[in-house]
Amino acid sequence: MSESLKRKRDESSVAADFDGATKKSNLDSKLSNFLRWCKDENLDISPKVEVSKTGSCAQYGMIATKDIAKGECLFEIPRALLLAPDTSKIADILEKESDTIKSKSNWVPLLLTLCHESSIPDSKWRPYLEIVPDFDELDLPMFWPMNDVEAELQGTGVISAVKTDIDNINNEFNNIVLPFMKRHAELFPDKIQNLDFYKKMVAFVMAYSFTEPTNQNEDEENEEEGADPPPMMVPMADILNHIAKNNAELHFGKESLTMDATMDIPQGGEVFNTYGTLSNSQLLHMYGFAEAPRNNHYDTVEIYPDCFSQALKVIENDSNPNVELTHIQERLEFLKGQGIIQEQAVLCVIGPEGVLNDDEMCHILKIITMDYANYGEYKAVLDSGDDWMEDDGPEELNNGDIPGLPLSYRCILYQLLKAHAEKYKSSLEKEVEQYESSSNKETDQTSTRQKLSHFVRVGQLHLLHGFMKLCKI
């Protein structure tokens, strides 16, 4: 925390501040315990903010009690307060047996830590673990009946993400976690040696944990090992809610982490962190909420190769004189053989500004549309092990670039997006009609799920149709 903020807090009586704030906000006892714990553990909180359910968009939130200027530190968390495998009581065992708990996600050590810490009454993090919500309330799609996921989220990419999660959770639990717990039964009581409890911990990590940004060298090392950076729990920071237009951000320092205002926040305003540049489908998948369509400027649509094949077939069968594609199947096979197109991997990502992966897409479009003689040359160069010198073809697919693209590119992109748009349960017009008649009326869990799924679908359909309009010839 900045020196000036520390000084300000020293000048006034921290205890008086704390007691006054507690009474004023009528905080419940779990929150009071948590705040007292923060104070005892030297987690410094600016007097200009308070934790409250009033004014928060979801459960607890952080509210500005005075005007806050951009750059001010809102709280500072000493590293010793982070709940992670290396700070936990079972750090030594986790370290000693690290080879047996390795997994692709890198989450297992933290999950075992949480299972253990939440089962012991004298955990250092007890006041923190007490204020996180009952995980039955954390309604991530992985807890929905699969029929609902499939009915509501067709086309959005969430279905396959949820299925992959469930498979991974089952695998990791049965093959890594349960054997570890059984070997250390004294640390893991019988009641937590079960998949349902473990799934709730996974949801906790999914929706509440943070990962420390790595420097580029570490990124490269992790990439080689195929592992993501490990997550950790950051008390207080995880109380903050998220919006795309966030006004605060977490910074990872050597000794401590600070939450700093990234813009002025007026008195009474909610302090919003960022969970990342996340689309609505990612927010729903990992956090169980979505922003109203168009509020989320990070929203995207992910399109898979099956739509590409479908789009090319439509063009092949169409007698559009502007676009003549030849040997499509051969070129597609070639792109797959080169690993440029992978069946299960995203082919094209559309965001509000256009195609996000335009390097790859321009390359693919170039190969599909190039003159067949050139294509032969291109393949021969690659076969000989040389690099192909790119010509001056289009390199960007931002919205502003679309009118200047060759007709064949526009036509393929249009059909690609159209093929994807047909995957949703209804058309944009019907979805918008439904949105206007039903928004803000949800009363129970089913209608909340429907509303959030609707946000995801409508946002994606808007992006698709906006881009299709630009591509239309």
Ligand X SMILES: C[S@@+](CC[C@H](N)C(=O)[O-])C[C@H]1O[C@@H](n2cnc3c(N)ncnc32)[C@H](O)[C@@H]1O
Other Cβ atoms less than 10 A from the Cβ of 173: the count is 21
Of 201-220, which residues contact ligand X (CB under 6 A)?
Answer: 207-208
The residue within the footprint of ligand X, chosen from 34, 37, 60, 188 (CB under 6 A), is 60
* Token code pair at residue 7: 């000084």
Min CB(62)–ligand X separation in Å: 9
237/419 with CB nearer ligand X: 237
59 near ligand X (CB under 6 A): yes
Select from 37-45, 236-244, 416-424, 443-451 the region that touches ligand X (CB under 6 A): 236-244
165 near ligand X (CB under 6 A): no
Q: Which CB contacts under 8 angstroms, 24+ apart, belong to 70-73?
A: 70/261, 70/262, 70/263, 70/264, 71/260, 71/261, 72/2, 72/5, 72/46, 72/48, 72/260, 72/261, 73/1, 73/2, 73/5, 73/46, 73/258, 73/259, 73/260
296/300 with CB nearer ligand X: 296
34 near ligand X (CB under 6 A): no
Select from 52-60, 122-130, 310-318, 405-413 the region that touches ligand X (CB under 6 A): 52-60
Of 280-319, which residues contact ligand X (CB under 6 A)?
Answer: 287-289
81/347 with CB nearer ligand X: 81
138/177 with CB nearer ligand X: 138
Angle between helices 428-438 and 445-471 (to 10 degrees): 140
Other Cβ atoms less than 10 A from the Cβ of 418: the count is 18
58 near ligand X (CB under 6 A): yes
69 near ligand X (CB under 6 A): no
344 three-class SS:
coil
Min CB(275)–ligand X separation in Å: 7
| DSSP-based helix, strand, coil % in the chain, nearest 5 | 55, 10, 35
277 near ligand X (CB under 6 A): no
Min CB(379)–ligand X separation in Å: 49
Select from 5-13, 53-61, 88-96, 261-269 the region that touches ligand X (CB under 6 A): 53-61
Whether 320 and 358 have beta carbons less than 8 Å apart is answered as no
Min CB(185)–ligand X separation in Å: 32
Min CB(202)–ligand X separation in Å: 13
The residue within the footprint of ligand X, chosen from 30, 57, 174, 445 (CB under 6 A), is 57
Distances (CA, A) of 251 to 211, 234, 366: 11, 12, 42
Q: Which residues pair with 78 in a beta bridge?
A: 256
305/459 with CB nearer ligand X: 459
Select from 56-64, 102-110, 328-336, 441-449 the region that touches ligand X (CB under 6 A): 56-64
The upper half-sphere exposure of residue 117, i.e. CA atoms within 13 Å in the direction of its Cβ, equals: 26
* Token code pair at residue 218: 């570490």
DSSP strand E in 265-384: where?
270-273, 301-303, 348-351, 354-355
128 near ligand X (CB under 6 A): no
Of 176-195, which residues contact ligand X (CB under 6 A)?
Answer: none
Q: What angle do CA 83, 87, 92 make, to 5 degrees?
A: 135
Q: Which of 246, 277, 297, 291 is nearest to 463 (CA)?
A: 297
The residue within the footprint of ligand X, chosen from 27, 35, 61, 201 (CB under 6 A), is 61
Distance from C-alpha of 144 to C-alpha of 414, rounded to nearest angstrom? 34
133 near ligand X (CB under 6 A): yes
DSSP structure class, residue 265: B
| The length of the chain, given as a count of residues | 473
Angle between helices 158-172 and 280-287 (to 10 degrees): 30
59/194 with CB nearer ligand X: 59
239 near ligand X (CB under 6 A): yes
Q: Which of 233, 237, 236 is nearest to 250 (CA)?
A: 237
Min CB(121)–ligand X separation in Å: 22
275/334 with CB nearer ligand X: 275
303 three-class SS:
strand
Min CB(289)–ligand X separation in Å: 4
The residue within the footprint of ligand X, chosen from 176, 243, 314, 346 (CB under 6 A), is 243
Whether 198 and 206 have beta carbons less than 8 Å apart is answered as no
Whether 207 and 132 have beta carbons less than 8 Å apart is answered as no
Select from 154-162, 239-247, 297-305, 353-361 the region that touches ligand X (CB under 6 A): 239-247
Min CB(287)–ligand X separation in Å: 4
Size of the site for ligand X (CB under 6 A): 17
241 near ligand X (CB under 6 A): yes
285/462 with CB nearer ligand X: 285
Q: Which residues bind ligand X (CB under 6 A)?
A: 57-61, 133, 138, 207-208, 238-239, 241-243, 287-289
